[in-house]
Amino acid sequence: MKLKTYDDRLTLTNGSYHSLVNARKPEGIDEKQAYLIGTGIASLAAGCFLIRDAHMEGNKITFLEQLDIPGGSLDGNIRQNAGYVARGGREMGHHFEVLWSLFSSLPATEDPSMSVLDYFYYTNLDDPNYSNCRITRKQGERYDNGKFNLGQDLAKELALFVATSDEELENKSIDEIFSEELLESDFWTLWRTMFAFKTGTVHLK
């Protein structure tokens, strides 16, 4: 099977043959520099791939971050009277092959004899846990019941939003579209903590 690629020599094979081949150093890479916008998972992964696959020296890679704390939605901080807070998170499923490939080539901070992928795998194997709980209060007491708890009026509000045209949503923030009741609902708490939305600053288009 042929791949649509700039290099006609690439083909699909059975198994993981191609994924195990180390990339050759590109011509002229020593004269190049990279500037990556942000320090979220995309930029950090790009920097790692530049070092691993493009053989670029790490000191030629510059990350440009507007905030005082790096990490994008993966950042975290200790806040007084609030505890450990992260703006968002990224869930690692079983089909993130690109990241698994990357993590398999990075040494784990906790145990450099293992890769990040090894550590991730064995941590989940040795300490399996599962919970549908999304919202807690009073230092760990479950608050949500696994449901959105939307009444008929708020459900209708969401339905009308889905039917709204892109033109009507352009340049409007979320709190200009949704009612205060919806923004205080369990549904919105579940939704914004999953995708790191911040009410009033996220534009819909």
pLDDT in tens, 13-72: 666 777 778 889 999 999 999 999 999 888 999 999 999 999 999 999 999 999 888 888
Question: In the chain, what are the domain boundaries?
Answer: 1-80, 91-126, 136-195
118-149 pLDDT, tens per residue?
A: 998 999 899 987 777 778 888 888 888 878 88
Identify which has the larger pLDDT, 97 or 150: 150
**Among 174, 166, 180, CA closest to 197:** 174
Instruction: Check pLDDT > 60 for residue 203.
Output: no
Q: Is residue 125 within 8 Å of 163, Cβ to Cβ?
A: no
Q: From CA 30, how far away is CA 120, in angstroms rounded?
A: 33
3-state secondary structure of 59: helix
67-89 pLDDT, tens per residue?
A: 888 888 777 777 777 676 766 65
Instruction: Check pLDDT > 80 for residue 5.
Output: no
Stretch among 101-110, 123-132, 156-165 having the lowest mean pLDDT:
123-132
3-state secondary structure of 26: coil
Contacts of 48 (CB under 8 A, 6+ apart): 102, 106
Does the predicted TM-score (pTM) go above 0.95? Answer: no
3-state secondary structure of 84: strand
